[in-house]
Structure 1
Amino acid sequence: MRSFRLFTALAATSLLVGCSSLDALNPFSTPAPKMAPLPEFKASATLSPVWSAKIGEADIYRFEPAVLDSDVIAAGAAGDVARFSGGQTRWRVRVDGGLTAGVGADADLAVVANGAGEVVALDASSGAERWRAKVNAEVLAAPGVAKDFVVVRSSDNRVFGLDRKDGAIKWTYRRTTPALTLRNPSGMLLENNVAVLGFPGGKLAALDLNNGGLIWELSVALPAGATELERIADVVGDPVLHRQTLCAAAFQGRVSCFDVTNGKTLWSRPVSARGGMSRDVRQVYVTEDTDAVVALDAFSGASMWRQDQLVRRVLTAPLATSAGVVVGDTEGYVHLLSLENGAFIGRTQADSSGVSVAPRAVGELVLVQTRAGGIHVFQPR
């Protein structure tokens, strides 16, 4: 059962073995089972379209749109970066070299990474290029933009601290990478002058942005199994901070929550997560590698509900909103689940190309970016 679940999950996730990627883990296997049909239900809520726009296709990458108040900055693989306001284009530029990651942004900077191993910072108001820095590494996750630094992590799990004024590399954090890891564009949590990042081996680390020094390290999950494949336990998605509680999830591992004041584990539950998590005041929401969405009590980790009728639809990480839990799938459907019991309460389709990155909140609205480059904003109610 463990092997079936693992191969099902990895069918939608590329792997790295040293510098080589595995495109087919088992060429002699039988065709994978079909995805679950869309469940029928009586809608009690809607996801009404508010506005939409178009940016370039994602190709093999996953681009996360950045939200600035009610504006959205998005990017595509061909190099287009644009800022949208209420569906209107404020600016659009083309970055040379093709893009592999983005967008990280604040009110001043919008930052992307290109295929030449460069980090490119644009003026968030005009799109004009401010600077570019050569990190000579593949960047798959959106850069983080902090007060004095731009933080970039490479696919080999190095972390670079760049001066946000000119892109000069101020420090580099390195750690040993296991032989086999997920090709997973995990991001980071920036809080005050600290970056919190998840790593292979189930580790969560906090870095001092002044010098890249390690402040602390916590274990979200411990690798287990007889083979390298079974021992993959990478932290996936972005860590989530709510007041003094920090939570993170690992593939083939656990969901764990910690007290950030002392590093004590508050609770830990066995869950194999695919792409991260979300939370509200009461509950933590996780998408499992089996495409089930689960809700756990935020204070104890107790199971609250489980929605498992979307098997093999390659769900995104969830987004908790006041109207419900939002997830996207590989056919571009956006599902709205009840906060109370996980039942389907609403559904719409962005486009048929699929949604592979977690939905984002734009105030009370919900934003999704599709693989074809569609930017879609919905009002859940």
Structure 2
Amino acid sequence: MTVRHGTLSALALAALLSGCAVVDWVMPKKGLPQETFTATLTGKTAWSTKVDSIKFPLNVVVVGDRLVVADSDGVLQALNPANGQSIWRGDIKGKPSAAVGSDGRFAAAVTEDNELVVLDAGKKVWTKVLTTPVKTAPLVAGERVFVLTVDRQVMAFDVLDGRKLWEMRRPGEPLTLNQSGVVSSYKDTLVVGQGPRLAGVDPLRGTLRWEAVVGSPRGTNEVERLADLVGPLGRSGEMLCARAFQLAVGCINAERGVQVWSRNNAGTVGVSAEGDLVLGADSVDRITAWKLSNGESAWSADQLQGRKLSAPLLTGKLAVFGDSEGFVHFLSRETGKTQLRLATDGSAVVAAPQAVAGLIVVVTAKGGVFGLKVD
């Protein structure tokens, strides 16, 4: 994610009137120097497959025994993560504006024409026209489809027939991001990002249960105070951890609905949390691991600066990032030192790596899907 500063200034008034986005996704530059290191792990590509190109940032959905991904032509696929083979595929008949959401059976995506399309095992079952653009993957859960629009309105639809069940409109920020936000769940609570706040919502009624601030915006104008929460959301136990755009990383106790800690950290992509750590990279790709309990720094690493890193993955003993040239970097969870680097197809890794079926799965801008095995 790159902020076009000239565009921000020129579009500030329009954004204030529309409540929509002023930030566009730009493919990063290539040709950056690589770190020199001695590998202490071995790895290989266990399988790879190809979908159409990916021209928008996305999150790969891992649901049980399958991966679900959308390409830029609107073809949705569920893949077997053990071998990359297709389980089902379907076409939403439009270019998606955001990633796909799925519960394994039903899949939901929104097109650039603001159509919410739901498929059942690859077959279209209903379509709804929305009045506001969407840049965040819908959440499919509990026989409902939850949609977060760019102005941070939340809507719930019945997954079977498309009936709108409720919508939640709250006083919004004057400026919001044209980037994937936060819509997730914790037990029986829907969790959404609204400005710099994380909100817990009753998924049956659309009423607010709790609200906590991740980071307090600073600055003297709307552009400087832009602090939307960006995905993905990190979760470890009852702690939900998020990034406020170019401002801070913070963790919320979802049982109590209160902020536990917040640390200034100017970044543009989400974080990962597992066990006792939270992991993220700032806007110059300096990596920090924070202690989950109190936000103290566990370690930091700067060997990947300037490589336009993807959102991270914490899994087992590894901290994993993709970069703008399709390399996947495996760092030690304990120290942040690089242990292994694997290549894909030379194009940017456009989603946070995912751990599934004993593999690390990454997706690239050229539409490559890779299952990487690390020993």
**Aligned position for 1:285:** 279
Q: Provide the C-alpha distance between the structure 1 equivalents of 2:38 and 2:4, rounded to a whole number of angstroms.
A: 32
Distance 1:128 1:12, change over 3 A: farther
Partner Cα separation in structure 1 for residue 188 and residue 7 of structure 2: 32
Out of 155, 158, 172, the position equivalent to 2:153 is 158
Query: 186, 194, 219: which is aligned to 1:191?
Result: 186
Q: State the match for 2:341 in structure 1.
A: 347
Q: Deviations over 1:228-273 (max 9, x none)?
A: 3321222121333322222222123222223333334322222223
Deviations 1:43-82 (A, max 9, x none): 11133211111111122x2232222333222111111112
User: Pairwise mapping of residues 4-83 of structure 1 onto structure 2 (< 5 A)?
Assistant: 10=3, 17=12, 18=15, 19=18, 36-59=32-55, 61-83=56-78
1:251 aligns with 2:245: yes
Asked whether the equivalents of residues 182 and 229 of structure 2 are also in contact (C-alpha less than 8 Å), the reply is no
Alignment of structure 1 residues 302-317 onto 2, 5 Å: 302-317=296-311
Cα distance in 2 for residues equivalent to 1:156 and 1:181: 6
- Per the normalisation by structure 2, the TM-score is 0.89
User: How far 1:143 moved relative to its partner?
Assistant: 0.8
Q: Distance in 1 between matches of 2:23 and 2:360?
A: 33
Q: Pick from 334, 337, 349: which aligns with 2:328?
A: 334
Instruction: Provide, for residues 13-38 of structure 1, a one-character-per-residue CA deviation record: whole Å limited to 9, x for no partner.
Output: 986741586579xxxxxxx9987511
Query: What amino acid does structure 2 have at the position aligned with 1:117?
Result: N
**1:121 aligned partner:** 118
- Deviation, 1:355, is 1.1
Matches within 5 A, 1:172-251: 172-200=167-195, 202-251=196-245
Match of 1:3 in 2: none
Cα distance between partner residues in 2 of 1:184 and 1:225 = 21
Q: Paired residue for 2:97?
A: 100
Q: Aligned to 1:107, what secondary structure does the other structure show?
A: coil
SS at match of 2:100: strand
Secondary structure (helix, strand or coil) at the match of 1:195 reads strand
Q: TM-score, structure 1 length as denominator?
A: 0.88
Q: Relative to structure 2, which stretch is displaced further, 15-24 or 33-42?
A: 15-24
Q: CA deviation at 1:152?
A: 0.8
Q: Distance in 2 between matches of 1:372 and 1:216?
A: 41
Q: Which residue of 2 is the match for residue 5 of structure 1?
A: none
Query: Residue type of the partner of 2:334?
Result: E
Residue 225 of structure 1 aligns with an amino acid whose one-letter code is G
Whole-Å separation in 2 of the counterparts to 1:177 and 1:261: 25
- For the structure 1 residues 149 and 13, does the alpha-carbon distance in structure 2 shift closer, same or farther, using more than 3 Å as the test? farther
The alpha carbon displacement at 1:166 in A equals: 1.0
Aligned residue type for 2:245: F
Q: Distance in 2 between matches of 1:101 and 1:72?
A: 16
Between structures 1 and 2, the one with greater strand share: 1
Q: Distance in 2 between matches of 1:110 and 1:337?
A: 33
Amino acid at match of 1:69: G
Q: 1-side partners of 2:313 and 2:238: how far apart?
A: 20
Structure 2: 5+ residue stretches without partners: none
**Alignment counterpart, residue 262 of structure 1, candidates 238, 256, 263:** 256
Alignment equivalent of 1:168, drawn from 160, 163, 167: 163
Are 1:357 and 2:357 counterparts?
A: no
2:35–2:303: 8 Å Cα contact kept in structure 1? yes
C-alpha distance in structure 2 between counterparts of 1:226 and 1:243, whole Å:
37
Deviation digits for residues 171-226 of structure 1, max 9, x if unmatched? 111233333333221232213332111222x1111111112111111111111112
Q: Distance in 2 between matches of 1:65 and 1:171?
A: 27
Contact residue 249 and residue 256 of structure 1 kept, 8 A: yes
Alignment partners' CA distance in 1, 2:249 and 2:217: 14
2:269 aligned with 1:275, yes or no?
Answer: yes
**Counterpart in 2 of 1:28?**
none
Equivalent-residue separation in structure 1 for 2:282 and 2:73 (angstroms): 31
2:294 aligned with 1:297, yes or no?
Answer: no
Structure 1 residues 46 and 351 mapped into 2: Cα distance closer, same or farther (>3 Å)? same
